[in-house]
Amino acid sequence: MKIDSNNPRELAMQTLVLTAKGAYSNLQINSVLEKSTMNVEDRALYTNIVYGVLQHMLTFEYQLAPFLKDANDTEDWVKELLYTAIYQLEYLDRVPKRAIFDETIKIAKRNGHDGIRRMVTGVLHAIDRKGLLDPSKINNRPERISIQTSVPVWLVKTLDEQLGKDKTEAILRSINHPAKQSIRMNQHADMPKDEIVATLEEEGFKVSESPVATSGLILQGKLAINSQLYKDGIITIQDESAMLPVESMTISGDDNILDACSAPGGKTTQIAEQLSSGMVTALDIHDKKLRVVKRNAQRMGLDDKVTTLALDARKVDEKFADETFDSILVDAPCSGLGLIRRKPEIRYSKTLADSEKLSNIQQEILTAVAPKVKVGGTITYSTCTILNQENQDVVDNFLASHPDFSLVTVATNRDLSANIDNKLLKIYPDDYKSDGFFVSTLRRDK
């Protein structure tokens, strides 16, 4: 496959092929943008097409199928190329149809042979003549919702069972809209909020308050990573909902705290911001990920309050005595289904079996760390998924086997009481247009 590093549509097709093979879209996009010499407009078009196709993949598969003689015999890159064309035709009003056709056909010729060029040309003109199938005509409801919103049928059925049809549809209608860009203000930095906001506005950002987290701001207009405040460690990039687990913790300056699943370190630094003489120990299985935690802590001037250790959280007994920590954060490895707006390919790779398998790991981590928190201390258990199997069910099972712990109502600075269900905080992607998140507080009573 030839590579044209300045053609946004061709790069989008190539990125989609790699993502379909298991690569993470955000990492692939960042890699392409770092190496490419595309101008600002083409970089935006490239990113828009990649995320747009990923968000609507099942819809496009359904709509393209009638125009292919045999979908199974059509090469993957050709289908991805046709999806990029459909996305532009359906969602990008400013791109002329002639430009979409010309560019798509040229890419087909460059990457294939004349037969593929003719096939792609024929499909595009057939779509133009006949139009695309309307998914709203599908009679079966779960299948219709699946194709309309581009999520697997199992996820529609599972959310129906757990949340009801209205909430399911509200969530799934929301996930294909662009994610907000939110940042967290470093509470340890010597710069008041008003000054941070004013500086960001001077840099060209449109700034608004987060309705979810008090340390959060919503930025528009540019990428936050380009802000001087980010480079200086005054702000860091974090979703609003992801700030809530630490915001819900009661932290004293001299506390000894364990962040049991820390990488990439957003919550580790959020804890460290509130410490004076205290320390947060950040665990992760992989040294490589801990290096990212360290870099984040250094950038934000917090490295003297963070110590890292490569260790599986299920093996904390090998390193720490019982009642070592004042509080523990278990932001557990999970299916990530609360992030499907930000990482759209997640929905295609996960299964219900994955969620159930992860719930066993989550339970094992909680059981392992439980003796390490002091009597009177708390374990904050959180995930970025929205399925009961990894959230409420894990908490219920833990409490059933640990009578020395009790559930405490999660408290946040914005008083998100409408999202409290049985003392548990549940944020869904449609609630505030943020990531979906789950937070619980488990207190050791004896």
Q: Which residue has the tokens 């398998």?
A: 357
What average pLDDT does the segment 291-308 reach? Answer: 96
Identify the pLDDT of residue 4. Answer: 52
Q: Does the predicted model carry a pTM greater than 0.85?
A: yes
Sort strands 405-408 and 373-383 into parallel, antiparallel or unpaired.
unpaired
Give the bridge partners for 327, in sequence order: 257, 378
- Predicted confidence band at 2 (pLDDT cuts at 50, 70, 90)? very low
> Where is pLDDT greater, at 24 or 5?
24
Q: Are 439 and 380 in contact (CB under 8 A)?
A: yes
- Catalytic pick from 17, 78, 297, 384? 384
Q: How many residues does the chain have?
A: 446
What average pLDDT does the segment 164-182 reach? Answer: 94
Q: Please enumerate in sequence order all residues whose Cβ is within 8 A of that of 267, keeping only pairs 6 or more positions apart, or say none.
A: 242, 245, 246, 259, 329, 331
Segment 188-238, tens digit of pLDDT = 998 999 999 999 999 999 999 999 999 999 999 888 988 999 999 999 999
Q: Phi-psi category of 257—alpha, beta or left, where left has phi over 0 and alpha has psi -120 to 50? A: beta
Query: Known catalytic residue: 261?
Result: no
Segment 234-280, tens digit of pLDDT = 999 999 999 999 999 999 999 999 999 999 999 999 999 999 999 99
What average pLDDT does the segment 148-160 reach? Answer: 97
- Inform me whether the pLDDT recorded for 5 exceeds 80: no
Q: Are 217 and 178 in contact (CB under 8 A)?
A: no
Instruction: Give pairs for 129-133: CB < 8 Å, separation 24+.
Output: 130/67, 132/63, 132/86, 132/90, 133/62, 133/63, 133/66
